[in-house]
Structures are given as C-alpha cells and as structure tokens.
Homo-oligomer: A and B are copies of this chain.
C-alpha cells in the first residue's frame, strides 16, 4: 500500500510537506504542489482505504492481546512490539482484556472477520482449544510454550531460568527458599513450579505449601508479602520473586523496617527493570525488544514456527 512516505520520496520532499499539500496548506510553493500531485497520480494513492482492504484482503493491522498495561512487564513488552511494528508498514491494534475471556474472543473474532491480519497473544485466559479452533482464521502468534499446529510461538524458558535462580541461591547457602508467582496455573507459573519441585527433589529438600505464594503481580503485592514476612516466625532465607515490581515492594518495605538484604533475606527479581538497577537487585533479564522483533517477524511470516528466548541471570547485591 502506498503511504505518505512513498509519496514524499517520489516527490523529493518531506512527509510534512506532502501532508501540507494534501491539506491545502497556504505556504507551499506551486512547484512542490505539482511534484506531490504527480507522485499521488502515479501511485494511485487513495484515501478510500476500505475499498483497498476489501480488494486486497489485507488491513495492515496486527492485533495484540494483553491483559493490562499498567504493569511494567506488559508495558515493556508492548513497547518492544510497538518498536518492531513501527519498522513495518503495519499498525498495532491493542485489545486490553483484563483477562476477561469475552475480550479475548472478541480479538479472535477480529482475526476471523479479517479486521486484522494477525493476532499476537501476550497472555491469555481462554483454553488452548479455543485458540486452536481459530488457527485457520488467520496468522496467530503466542508468547508461551504451546505446541499447536498452525500457530507460531515465541517462548521464554521459565523452567531453566527459575532453576538457575534457585541453584544460585542454593550455592549461596540458602536451604529454605520461597518462590512467588502470579496466576497459579498460567503456562509460565506451571513451568516455574515444576522447576521448584525438581530443584527441591534434586537437593532432598522438603516441599512446603507455604513456600509457594501466588497472585503476586504488582509492587503492592510485594509490600503485603513483606508485611507478612515481618510477622511470621518460621520463614525462608531467600525469595525468588515473580517480577522486579513485586521484588521492589518486598525489598523497600523490608529495608524500611530495618531488615538487611541479603543478610536477613536474599531476593532475586525478574525482568531487569530499571528499579532493579537502582536497588542493586539480582534479577533475570528479559530482552523485550528482541521478543518484540521476534513476535512481529512471526506475525508476518506465512508458516508457523517456534522460537525460544534465553534469559540471563544478572548478579547484583541482593543475594
């Protein structure tokens, strides 16, 4: 599809100038107006885009399903995707779901009714079989490790990275480690729980139910967790935490209550957000720009592929 940049290039002017010509701005010289008009005529640049979509069967819209954007993991992810999209001729349609299944179905229907060319699931509530039933409706990419024919996936190896975090804590002398997760049965939480169980088993350590804390997503959840820890008598010596926001809430609340981190409690966060640098916090780096590039690449490819993203432990001062 011809866009304003193509016109600008052909006419040898800036996009701003093309825009001024299109809007009959008074201060554009006649020669320029003519050059732009020639480029428009030659390319058949049209404003009747829906007619073009109807004819070509393409919308140049990529849909992404995301539960919310006020949580930094998701906003960094969407930012990475948006940066990758801005290098293509496509635009990004956001379907923010709050994990409401009907919103996710709406997104799938957008794909089926060809209102978008492809759909990326950053996270989901609907069952895999529901997504699978749309696999013939258009291109789909999911950010998790699922194996469904016709659907592309990019996934982080949460099992390996969680196991590496636990092993690092163990090597630093920690024998009672707690973990916290967000949604108990999400694909990533299941992988993380399996890594925890396997780790405990390999080191002949007991599995205690209270050492798996769930529903931790926001910084406030970390504050609450810290306040519970302060009250409790028997407690872990180390915490492997969902993400850096929860870890920052945990860390700052403990420190303000007079605790010494890592002496009183070692902490590993997740994501390598800015706040983890400011707090000199050990964490696991997620390469959001790389993930964004990969998801958009897969969204625009015709065949379905699988791609693993490696995560790296960043050693700082909280272990």
Q: A residues bordering B, Cβ < 8 Å?
A: 3-5, 15-16, 19-20, 22-23, 25, 46-51, 53-54, 59, 61, 68-70, 72, 74-76, 78-80, 82-83, 85-86, 91-98, 101-103, 105-106, 108-110, 112-115, 126, 130, 133-134, 137, 218-220, 222-223, 245, 248-249, 252-253, 256, 274-275, 277-280, 288
Interchain nearest-CB distance for A224 vs B (Å): 11
Which residues of chain B come closer than 8 Å to A69, judged between CB atoms? 69, 75-76, 78-79, 82
Which residues of chain B come closer than 8 Å to A4, judged between CB atoms? 102, 105-106, 109
Given contacts A15-B101, A91-B95, 5 further A-B contacts (CB under 8 A): A16-B101, A50-B53, A68-B79, A82-B94, A223-B277
Knowing A130-B19, A219-B275, A219-B278, the reply to whether A109 touches B53 (Cβ < 8 A) is no
Instruction: Indicate if the CB atoms of B278 and A19 lie closer than 8 Å.
Output: no
Instruction: Indicate if the CB atoms of A61 and B248 lie closer than 8 Å.
Output: no
Q: Name which residue of chain B comes closest to A101, CB basis.
A: B16
Pairs A–B under 8 Å by Cβ, sample size 7 = A19-B133, A47-B113, A69-B69, A69-B79, A70-B79, A79-B96, A93-B93
Closest 8 CB pairs of A and B: A75-B75, A82-B96, A219-B274, A70-B79, A69-B79, A50-B54, A23-B133, A252-B278
Instruction: Indicate if the CB atoms of B274 and A245 lie closer than 8 Å.
Output: yes
Q: How far is the CA of A105 from the CA of B96 in the complex (A)?
A: 25
Q: How far is the CA of A53 from the CA of B51 in the complex (A)?
A: 9
Q: How far is the CA of A220 from the CA of B22 in the complex (A)?
A: 42
Q: How far is the CA of A89 from the CA of B76 in the complex (A)?
A: 27
Instruction: Indicate if the CB atoms of B102 and A218 lie closer than 8 Å.
Output: no
Q: How far is the CA of A109 from the CA of B16 in the complex (A)?
A: 11
Instruction: Indicate if the CB atoms of B96 and A86 lie closer than 8 Å.
Output: yes
Knowing A23-B134, A79-B70, the reply to whether A96 touches B106 (Cβ < 8 A) is no
Q: How far is the CA of A46 from the CA of B54 in the complex (A)?
A: 14
Which residues of chain B come closer than 8 Å to A23, judged between CB atoms? 112, 133-134, 137
Interchain nearest-CB distance for A99 vs B (Å): 12
Interchain nearest-CB distance for A53 vs B (Å): 5
Interchain nearest-CB distance for A98 vs B (Å): 7
Instruction: Indicate if the CB atoms of A130 and B277 lie closer than 8 Å.
Output: no
